[in-house]
Amino acid sequence: MLEDYVVIDLEMTGLNAKTDAILEVGAVRVRDGRQTETYGAILKCGRELSERVVELTGITSEMAADGREPEEAMQEFFTFLGDDVLVGQNVIFDYSFLKQWSVNHGQTFERNAVDTLKLARRFLPAEQKKDLESLCTYFGIGRERAHRALDDAMATGIVLERLKQEYGTVQPEAFLPYALCYRTKKQTPATGRQMDGLKKYAAHYGIPETEIPEQMTRSEASRLLDRWIAVHGRMPRD
């Protein structure tokens, strides 16, 4: 039975690993079924946060602007993970962002994992909701801050241990780690020419520069300009 692992949870600026950014990371190291050490950090994401993200996480654009430099914090995060099995609630979603970040930075990131969402779907009644909040209510797990990375990781770890207690001896094979698979390609950063063009377009049409993320890929910059052109038209040539 799985006793040593690391539980992870991420908060992001959106749902697409190719176009959205990691906003917060949280991880809990578990040894012999007990939570022994934690890691958490808010990351600078180089963009204004949507009202939906702020409402959901409680993380404001100001908090993100004061966050850790992504490269530094993410290296610490990966060091904390080590080679442990990962545990997460719908873990492939978090993994997709970690894998994309790794690919973008020329690193390899392959892991085995256990997914509490899959386990809940396997063992709990069909009518029981399977999101993390509902699972915490089902198992009587108290929480202070929902949708914050470290708090969610800690709660997910407790959910796994409760599932193990109730169903681990019945179907121990369900708790075996499996290889995560997410294929992606490196996202090339936007060129200086693209960024200058966006700033020039924004200045011409009175678009706040805060709508231009500090960090963008080439495809993101192209899509942003296309959206602006659809609304304002092409900028007159000098």
Q: What pLDDT is recorded for position 238?
A: 66
CATH of region 5-179, choose from 3.50.50.60, 3.40.640.10, 3.40.50.970, 3.30.420.10: 3.30.420.10
Q: Return the higher-pLDDT residue of 156 and 144.
A: 156
What does the pLDDT average to over 17-31?
Answer: 95
Q: Which residue has the higher pLDDT, 61 or 7?
A: 7
In which band, very low, low, confident or very high, does the pLDDT at 159 lie, cut at 50, 70 and 90? very high
What six digits make up the tokens of 92? 């492939």
> Using an 8 Å Cβ cutoff, are 27 and 8 in contact?
yes
Query: Above 90 in pLDDT, residue 145?
Result: no
Residue 191 pLDDT? 92
> Where in the chain do CATH 3.30.420.10 domains reside?
5-179
Say what the pLDDT of residue 85 is: 98
